[in-house]
Structure 1
Amino acid sequence: MVSNSKGSYFFLVAFVLTLLALLKLYSPFLMNLLIAFLLFIATQSIFQIILKKIKSEFFSSLLMTLLLLLLCFMPIFYVAINLASFATNVDLNGFQNIFALMQQKLINFSRQFFDYLPSAVQQEVESLLLRINSIDWAEIVKKILGFIAKLSANSIYFVSDAVFIVIFLFFFYFYGNKLGKYFIEVIPIDKRQIKSLYDEVSAVISVVFYSSILSMVLQGMLFGILMAFYGYNAILLGVFYGFASLIPVVGGTLVWLPVACYELYLGNFTNTIIITLYSIIVIATIADNGVKPFIITFINRVLIEEPVKINEMLIFFAIIAGLSSFGFWGIVLGPAITALFIAMLRIYQNLYKG
């Protein structure tokens, strides 16, 4: 008995040390593996449909990987390439002149109504105009261009991450069934509990993935239609707005505000007001905050075979929390962590409280 006990402790210590060494060895790829795994879980239903039609795991895995590559990564590459081209060809002096003229027009526009304002308001407006007049636009332009250049440089790392994610994704599709059966045998929990946990997390991630795609497409299309009406590159700005809508707090403001400022510089005050109100009311308020919870509800109750047992608003806030904590990929990680925690609580309740 003592010998067996010592052997068990030795194996446990050796296993933990090996696991830590393994984590250290593959630490540069852990996030890529996790993202690929979550995308694999989210798109399992589509993969199974393709597999039934093609009846080949290799070609089904390849086709599914290519579909996700076109859907998720190619639009990002398109935006990154155009941003890099813009950063290299931009006219710095022209930008400074635009901001200076906009500043002067704003001051002149404000002074037209200055005499009609109460004296207390006049003092506040005068103070505000002085602060606007003291802004060093040249320094601001340099910082903006520096940010774009840094973003373009970071896109190299994003491309490398995307390549690894795509590779891992293919292997998850190809070997997913075998890996799943192996881990079910290894994990010391009842198989029904494991299946329940997997189904719940999978359903939540699927809801988040599909709802985010639909929301991005909806907002991008709405903004692209408006930009096409004013003669801008509707595809570029629409795609850019769709991805920008995932960024917490600022979101699509990163796209519509520069366009509105440019229209103000051209003297098109009506266009500026329309773009601003349309972006804030129609897209940000109605399409994003108003429609998105309904999209989540629709996907959960219509497109998902087993509706999730988590409230749709909790999923919505988990998306926001994930974006705030993990950035772009937090859109999947936030709800996945939340769903996993709730599923683990249910397993605990069944095992120890049932």
Structure 2
Amino acid sequence: MIAPGSETELSETLAQASAPLAVRGGATRSGAAAGAEVLSTAGLAGISLYEPGALTLVAGAGTPLGEIEAVLGREGQRLAFEPMDHRGLLGTEGAPTIGGVVAGNVSGPRRVAVGAARDFMLGVRFVDGAGRVVKNGGRVMKNVTGYDLVRLMAGSRGRLGVLSEVSLKVLPAPETQGMIVFDGLSVERAVAAMSSALGSAYEVTGAAHDAAAGRTMLRIEGFETQVAYRLGRLAEHLAGFGVAETVADPDAVRDAWREIRDAAPLQGAMGDVWRIHCRPSAAPKLLSRLEAERVLVDWGGGLLWALLPEGTDARARLGTFDGHATRVRGAPRPDVPARPPEAGPVAALTAGLKARFDPRGILNPDLEA
């Protein structure tokens, strides 16, 4: 394992590299890479700037996510995009890092209300495959010049460069949170209820349906008096879907949404796990095609987690649809890539970016599929 302790060391390592490198932060989402030496970012850790009044934080890419959340929590702030912890689902160890979160654009249930991880990126520093240090963005949202590399690096999975530092916008944590819960709704009815809730004026920050438990959950956050009022009005707004249970205990709500965030209903079960992005209105039909063993619906129907028998090709079952399906857990199969093939124009753009930032093709070659 190679573990540079500074950006300079990272630059020298990449400039001199002659073999494939598997970029790893906390290794919570990726296992060992065949034929590639692991390049760890653990030595690029630490919070270098935190200005609570400016809602700004700058940290090394290898900084553990838990450390950042603890620092923010002491100031009554948080990462609004609610990043998932993959360890329970994937059976991995280690600790998630902020660089891994950004590289994967890891975003949780609150994405339906506030946006994805990339929407909170202010700036990045990274080293490309040729060893060149690149900086883009800054400490304010409007500071973007030339290529918008800040957003490009969010979701690039370490294939264009190795993140060394990230700048983030953070937000105040709410005073409290509550939710209403419907029991026994079908997927069709649950998606309809979630769509109606998200389209209402009551600022819903989470909309999920656990098919196995038959529970449809809608979360509201904010000041205590406002949350109580909005929960009541939301229940009235959705009265046509049945009688809803109101959960006002913030700890219970937090625990419930942590399980949604981390896809807990699919943990501990044998089989492959697929993550499907789709139009919410298409979710019921797609799930009927999948015939999954377990299902979790998030983002109001826009994100589906599905447990399928080992070796099952979810894309073959789904057929053509407006979205894409990715295998997040399961043995590699040469005939069924984990990620769907890109359309011709997108593939050409991807190849051009890869040639520009990693001309030797040494960064995360195991993630090409």
Q: Do Structure 1 and Structure 2 share a fold, with TM-score over 0.5?
A: no
Larger relative contact order, structure 1 or 2 (CA cutoff 8 Å, min sep 6): 1
Larger radius of gyration: 1
If the length of structure 1 is used for normalisation, what is the TM-score? 0.21
Relative to its length, the structure with more strand (as a share) is: 2
If the length of structure 2 is used for normalisation, what is the TM-score? 0.20
